[in-house]
Structure 1
Amino acid sequence: MRTDIPLYINAAALWLPQTASTAEEAAASGVIRLRAAEAEGFAQLAVCHDRTVSSMAAEAARTALEDAGLTPDDVDLHIHCWVYEQGEGVWSPAHRVARLTGAHHCMAFGLQQQSNSGATAIETALTKIATDPRTTTALITTADKFNEVPQGRWSPLSDGGPLGDGATAVVLTPSPGPLLIESIAGHGDTSLEPDFPGRDPFGLQPPDPNGSPFRKQDVLKRMRACVKHAVDDALDDAHLSPDAPGIDSVLPCFLGQTFIDWTIRPALPAPLQDKIRRYGSHTGHLGGGDLTANLAFTLKQPPPPESHTLLVSVGAGYCATCLVVRA
């Protein structure tokens, strides 16, 4: 997707709790092996005990709006994304977050596409802004807490990533901002859907390692193809070749090193495979918020002016998204 009008990431915020579960603590309790956690690139996981999921998202939203120089009343569209339970008594998570943020006059709805939710929400919001002149400010939020996951937040290490608690928010407008959106492209392969129920990270029964989709070569090949389609389309829409000197980095989702090496890296064009930069070693996998959190990290450590950054996201089911931004 490439629009005829410039669209920008005006701000991105990441809210994390003050507490964490360290790899050393998890290893001492027998949950994981420390060497395995280090090999997968996780030092600790963010853990929240004292906030509701909705309040986490609202906190991130207010920070992002303030950074963008906007108020909650400026929000025309709000999309809230999640993976796990959003709290007892919350009928519509998106409306709860919008109300707590103070965005009382926006169109709010929820999007639940597993780990690719935040990326898909950005694509959805861009389409709305580009086609509806009444929509000029979109707010994307993600939030999850994984304290009640039966298998525990550290499992599995190699088949994706341990789970961290946190919230993210992104503000999109046609007004100039620090990151210009050059393109975004998504690709899906629903034939992979049957391979995922047996590997439910939230299930009560211990998963069968031999049944993991991430350990089946034919499944991995199709997952890589899905990522490759998204990356190739995004580069094409941005009029960039894989060896363009201005491409600064590729930011993958906050999953383990094994997953990245098996699924993401082989799907990238050869010139980009050594440009992967990983965040998330101190957060864990943030549900649907990895790509939006990567935007927040990018704004904190800005790439060189006029350089391009690729952000890659995937989700069970199976789908992948690639976002290209220019500083």
Structure 2
Amino acid sequence: MRWENVHVAGVGVYLPEEVQTAEQAVAEGRYDATAAAVNGVRAVRVAGPGETGPVMAAEAGRQALARSGHAPQDIDLVLHACTSHQGRDLWTPAHFVQREVLGTHASAAIELRQGCNGVLSGLELAASWAASRPGSGAALVTCGDAWHLPYVDRWTSDDQTVFGDGGSAVVLSARGGFARLLATVSRSDASLEPLYRGMGPWDETPFPDGKPVRLGDRPGEWLLRDKVAYDDVLATVAGNFDETLRQVLEESGTGLHDARWFVHASMIRPIAEWGFGKRLGLDPARTTYEWSLDFGHVGSSDQLMGINHLAETGRLSPGDRVITVGAGTGFMWTAAVLEIEHTPDWP
């Protein structure tokens, strides 16, 4: 979808103070030394007591709102994306974020469960909202995740990911901002849904055995069903990603190598180097990937964290185009293209 009058007005990020390094985790016997060397993640932030996902999302939301120039009463929609436990069972964290950031104002507050594609899928939904209500104000998209034992082991629950804690937020507006949202595209392919469900029996309650979730074991259960399953999955993933990216570039009138920045999720080095460096021919200097290895995979906050980093370090100039892409289990892919209108003056 090409957007004509949707702007990124403000971005916010909240990161806990505690830093845990991969070197520490190896020394404590919590992380395999070979995996640490291959995967490349240097450190993560660790949420402290009371720093739940919604709390961190609200902190980021207040920062994004302050930077946006909008008042709380301008925000008509709150979308809160999350993947990890949000601090309470049978509860609606989106309304906590709404209350903490805006008070009681907003037409709707909705929780998004789209895995690691939550924020970018929320960006597209919020753009639809802002574009269809051009006189009503703006939309707030937040994300917050904290990964704690015994539910999740941030170092070993998924052998393709190291999880870090934090929150992020973005304000979209029809009134203006530091960047224009040129286009967004999403694709969903439910043929891959069993990949992270696995083939085991259903759980009747959350966290049934009290042991850390083993996300990395589930794909193997499904991929072993026949000899060609692995190759088929790789082809399906690559095909959907390629088509999503092709379409968003076409709709935004952007060439892949004409964009100044390409911001993707923080994943382990072998996947990033193969999936983005080699397949797309991307120069790592055009990405925020190396910087992100000090934070790990922060749910679906990685892309906003990367854009926020570029803004805070003065690396965004008028006319720059930024491509950002995401993928979430299920599977769903979203890509977006921004054009910088002015350099944000953020500390």
TM-score (norm 2): 0.84
1:214-241 CA-to-partner distances (Å, cap 9, x unmatched) read x933212211111111111110011123
* Amino acid across the alignment from 1:283: F
Cα deviation for residue 210 of structure 1 reads 4.6
Query: Following the alignment from structure 2 to structure 1, what is the Cα–Cα distance between the partners of residues 91 and 222?
Result: 33
Q: Partners in 2 of 1:250 and 1:74 — Cα distance? A: 30
Equivalent residues in 2 for 1:1-327, closer than 5 Å: 1-3=1-3, 5-34=4-33, 36-50=35-49, 51-88=51-88, 91-106=91-106, 107-148=108-149, 150-155=151-156, 159=160, 161-198=161-198, 203=213, 207=217, 210-211=220-221, 216-244=230-258, 247-265=259-277, 268=280, 270=281, 275-278=286-289, 279-301=291-313, 302-327=315-340
1:288 Cα deviation from its structure 2 partner: 2.1
- Cα deviation, residue 186, structure 1: 1.2
Worse-superposed segment, 23-32 or 254-263: 254-263
Where does the alignment leave 5 or more consecutive residues of structure 1 unmatched?
none
The alpha-carbon deviation at position 84 of structure 1 amounts to 1.3
Letter in 2 for 1:203: V
1:2 maps to amino acid: R
Measure, in 2, the Cα distance between the counterparts of 1:165 and 1:121: 20
The letter for the 2-side match of 1:307 is D
Q: Which runs of 5+ in 2 are unaligned?
A: 201-210, 224-228, 341-347
Q: Which amino acid aligns with 1:64?
A: A
Give the partner amino acid of 1:175. Answer: R
Aligned residue identity for 2:217: P
Letter in 1 for 2:5: P
Kindly provide the amino acid, as one letter, of the partner of residue 173 in structure 1. S
Deviation at 1:206, TM superposition (A): 7.5
2:284 & 2:89 partners in 1: Cα distance?
45
How big is the shift at 1:128? 0.9
Contact 1:227-1:267 at 8 Å conserved across structures: no
- Of the structure 1 ranges 299-308 and 183-192, higher mean CA displacement relative to structure 2 is found in 299-308
* Counterpart residue identity of residue 13, structure 1: G
Letter in 2 for 1:147: H
- Label 1:266 to 1:195 Cα distance change in 2 as closer, same or farther (>3 A): farther
Give, in angstroms, the shift of residue 37 of structure 1. Answer: 2.4
SS of alignment partner, residue 130 of structure 2: helix
**Do 1:9 and 1:177's aligned partners in 2 also have CA atoms closer than 8 Å?**
yes
Is 9-18 or 293-302 further displaced after alignment?
293-302
Kindly state the Cα deviation for residue 34 of structure 1 after the two structures are TM-superposed: 4.0
What is the aligned-residue RMSD (CA, Å)? Answer: 2.7
SS in 1 for 2:300: helix
> Share of identical aligned residues, percent?
26
Letter of the 1:42 partner, please give it. Answer: V
Q: May I ask how many residue pairs the two structures share in their alignment? A: 322
Which sits farther off after the overlay, 282-291 or 298-307?
Answer: 298-307
CA contact (8 A) 1:183 1:237 kept: yes
Distance 2:82 2:169 in 1: 12
Pair 1:206–1:289, CA change in 2 (3 A): closer
Q: Conserved in 2, the CA contact under 8 Å of 1:227 and 1:264?
A: no
2:205 is matched with none
Q: TM-score, normalised by structure 1?
A: 0.89
Q: Partner of 1:172: helix, strand, or coil?
A: strand
